[in-house]
Structure 1
Amino acid sequence: MRNDRLDQMVKGWFVGDFSPVAHHSAACEVAIKRYAAGDHEAAHEHRIATEVTAIVSGRVLMMGQEWSEGDILTILPGEATDFTALTDVVTVVVKTPSVAGDKYILASNDIDDGFRNTELK
């Protein structure tokens, strides 16, 4: 058995095709993420991976809707989402497959407008 610590991982990601990692896998990525009220992530999409976000605690605004504890959101490739923590929040996020560079920041924070994509470097 080996022991790793979540605080040694990058932004809560502990399974995937990257480093550091507790378990290496090209099949998926898994993270436990903690946000403070007001934290925000810009609108983005994945072109290959499907992302599943489970709200463990707190309230968030994603895709123009409010979600809370117990909600599980499945975001398919090509679907845009942004993220704002309305309260302190804990999420579990699974992306499949684990693909480096498959996160594209969108040119506008308004996910209802036609976005122009910019690859995240």
Structure 2
Amino acid sequence: MTELVRPHRVAFADTDASGRIHWTSVFRWAELAEHDLLRRSGVTDVSRFPRKATEAVYHRALAAGDEIEIRLAAERVGRTSVTYGWLVLRDGETCVEGRHTVVHVDDDGRPTPWPADVSAAFGQSDQS
């Protein structure tokens, strides 16, 4: 699985009363990029990947109308979880950097090994 680069324009709805992005916006953008990456890799069901941990460091303010790109890649892949690292850039400058970890869960919400299509997308052939 390689890096995904997703262009995006900051929407007015992504901002708060200060005119800058609301701090939660970057997590939605990262999730959109994550789903794009999985779909590009052939994974069609993205419904069983709840968040376990998230973090973001904000370096530069962003405002409505800013053209940005989100760069996302899998940093660490385990048997039931993956940690993605991501950047939000404007004109090549890092505005936000972050990461989030998702866990594949079963019907009862318990961690379970990746399905074969997801495992293959992550380049894993053996889940032992």
Please tell me the TM-score bracket, short chain as reference: under 0.3
Q: TM-score, normalised by structure 2?
A: 0.21
Between Structure 1 and Structure 2, the one with more helix by share is 2
Between Structure 1 and Structure 2, the one with more strand by share is 1
